[in-house]
Structure formats: structure tokens, C-alpha cells
Copies of this chain bind each other. A is one copy, B any other.
Amino acid sequence: MRYELYYWPQIQGRGEYVRLALEEAGASYLDVARRRGGDETLIALMESRRVRHPPFAPPFLKAGRLMIAQTANILQYLGPRHGLAPKNQPGALWVHQLQLTIADLVEEVHQTHHPIASALYYEDQRKEAKRYSREFWKRRPQKYLGYFERVIDRAGGAWLTGRRLSYADLSLFQVVEGLRYAFPNAMRRLESTIPHVIAVRDAVAARPRIAAYLASPRRIAFNEDGIFRRYNELDS
């Protein structure tokens, strides 16, 4: 089966967590909106009255007759199918729980540049963004990444869940990469306190399929339309 991924073509965004899982799995997939006219296909499908389970927003994945939205939900569908999550329920729930916690962090990162409204430009909420970012870096990355640090430590293996890679590890890699891009100064200071998290990041980057993906044109570069944006004035 060839999956169809629907996500905005200009950014990594939330679609990237799905792309990383599909790439690590070596799954066959079409990144629909990145093809000619693909963003119109995406919008038409979102608005179609014939879709039984319409998504609220991208990303969404077509898998045969299934259409699944919400990043973490897509990942929990893909995970056990491609060896990226346990098939047993306790294990699957745990990986999903970690993913939802990563999603919470990602949402907070988005607010560093859009604390007032997604619909407004960054320039129209700069003042609030500066205040939000200052507060954010007092405690939030420390709290989230410190939590994942403890999780890895307790799991007693190389990954969040121990001896086997899961889609949550791929997502943790993406968050570290994103924070490094958006907040190089603040992140540099934090990294020495989270060696296990950085080790997961390094181990993901070294996976052959991930390394090939990152070096390919399929990987969109970080940019200032995505979730992780580099605005020097927000980086302490």
C-alpha cells in the first residue's frame, strides 16, 4: 500500500513527525501537496463533503480507505505496522503518551513566536513573543526535556522506551533539531543537562534511512514559516 500524506508543502511543521516515521519505516508514500497542484488537492479533500471523517487540519494520511488526522493519531496508526511501536497495548499506550507530551511541547514552542494568534503575523505580536519566549526559557524546555531525560534513564536502553526505537524517538530528534535551529544560544546552555536526550538525537540522525532522508530534497529546510523559527531577538 502506498500512503498519501497531506501537509502544507512549504514547511516541516507537524507533518514532519509523520514524514520521519514513514522514512524510517522505508514506507512507500506520496507527499501529495508537494507535487504540482498538490496544495489544491489537499484543500479540496479537506473541504469535500464526501469525506466521511473530515480532518480539522493537516496533517492527514490516507491509508487505503482510511483517512486519519492529528499527528499523534497518525503515528499511533503507523507505529505497530512498521515496527515503530509495540503491538501490545501497554507498550502502545506508553509510546503514544510520550508522543502527546512531545506534541504539548511543540505547541508551546509555536507560541514563542505566536502567543496572541496564529492568524496574525509575527511582526504584529513581537512584543508579546519576546515576553513569552523569556518566560518559556525560564523553565519549559528544562521541564519537558528533563522529563524525557529521566524517561530514557529509567528505560535503561538507548531509546525512550528502552531497547527499541519508537516513533517518539524520531519526534524527540525533531524537537531537538528544531530547538537548536530556533534558539541556538538557549539550547547550547541546556544541552549539557540532557545527555540522554542528545544521545537519542544522535542515534536517530545516524539511522541509515533517516540520514539519507535528511540529506535528500525530501527534507524541507527549517524556515521562518514553520513551528521552529529563528528570530534572534527571541533567543536569550
Contacts and interface: CB of A to CB of B under 8 A. Distances in A.
A93 B73 contact: yes
Given A93-B68, A154-B49, A154-B54, A119 B100 contact: no
A15 interface: no
Contact of A116 (B90, B117, B128): B128
B115 A100 contact: no
Given A68-B97, A90-B66, A101-B56, A131 B116 contact: yes
Nearest to A150: B54
Contacts of A93: 66, 68, 73, 77
Interface string A59-95: 0000000101110110011000000000001100110
A124 to B, nearest CB: 10
A89 B129 CA distance: 41
Which interface residue of A56, A101, A119 has the most chain B CB atoms within 10 A? Answer: A56
Contacts of A101: 56, 69-70
B154 A135 contact: no
A177 to B, nearest CB: 21
A52 interface: yes
B90 A117 contact: no
B90 A73 contact: no
A139 B55 CA distance: 18
Interface in A103-158: 104, 107, 111, 115-117, 119-120, 128, 131-132, 135-136, 138-139, 144, 147, 150-151, 154
A53 interface: yes
A22 to B, nearest CB: 17
Interface of A: 49, 52-56, 66, 68-70, 72-73, 76-77, 89-90, 93-94, 96-97, 100-101, 104, 107, 111, 115-117, 119-120, 128, 131-132, 135-136, 138-139, 144, 147, 150-151, 154
9 contacts: A49-B154, A52-B154, A54-B147, A54-B151, A56-B101, A70-B96, A77-B89, A111-B111, A116-B131
